[in-house]
Amino acid sequence: MNIKALLTKYKLVIRFIAIFLLVYGTLTLGYYLYLNMSDGSKYYPDYMTNLVAKQTNALLNGIGYDTVVLPHPNEASMKVIIEGKFVARVIEGCNAISIIILFLSFIVAFSGKLKTTLIYCFAGSIIIYAFNLIRIVILSVGLYHYPWRREVMHEVIFPLLIYGTVFLLWMVWVNRFSKTEKANA
C-alpha cells in the first residue's frame, strides 16, 4: 500500500489525532502561560488552586470538620488542616485543570454539532471540577482518619475514580453525541 492509500484509509484516525494534539497543545500552552503570569500575591499559588483549596475548606467545615486552609510557607501549595492536624496540601495538580484540558481535547477531536459540543464541554468540565472537589474533601477526611492509607488513597483509589469519571464522560459522548457515532448508525 502506498502512503496516499494509507492516508485515505486512516483519514478519520489521523484527523482525530491531529485535532486532539492541536487542542491539547493549545490549551496546555495557554494554561502554562496562565501559571507563569500568576504572581501569587492575591491568590496563592494561583487563582484556580487557591479557589479549590478555599472551596475544600468550605465543604469540610460544612460537613462538621473544623478546617483551616493556609498557604504553605515552603512550597507553592495550600495546607489543609483539620482539627489542628495537617492532613494534605492542595497543589496546582489538584485543581483539575489538566484533567479538564485532556477531557476537552478528546471531546473536540470527536466533535458533534457545535452547540452540543460546547454544552457538553461546559457540562463535563463542571462535572469533573465538582467531582474533583468532592474527591479532595473525601481524601482529606480519609487522611485525617486513616493517615497510614495515604499511598493507596492518593495514588490508586482517587486517581482511578477521577480518570474513571472522565472515561465515562468520553464514552457517553462518543456513544450519544459525536458525529462519528451518528455517521455509523
> Per the domain annotation, does 185 fall within a domain?
no
In a domain, 128, yes or no: yes
pLDDT band at 5 (very low <50, low <70, confident <90, very high): confident
CA distances for 180 relative to 15, 21, 30, 31, 173, angstroms: 12, 18, 28, 29, 10
Which structural domain, as residue segments, surrounds residue 97?
3-179
Would 7 be classed as within a structural domain?
yes
The answer to whether residue 184 sits within a structural domain is: no
CA distance 114 to 117: 5
For residue 32, tell me if it sits in a domain: yes
Count of structural domains within the chain? 1
pTM above 0.75, yes or no: yes
Residue 12: the pLDDT is 86
Q: Is residue 88 part of a domain?
A: yes
Return the pLDDT at 180.
58
Average pLDDT of the chain is 90
- Residue 121 is assigned to a structural domain of this protein: yes
**Using an 8 Å Cβ cutoff, are 136 and 55 in contact?**
no
In tens, the pLDDT along 17-53 reads: 999 999 999 999 999 998 888 766 678 888 999 999 9
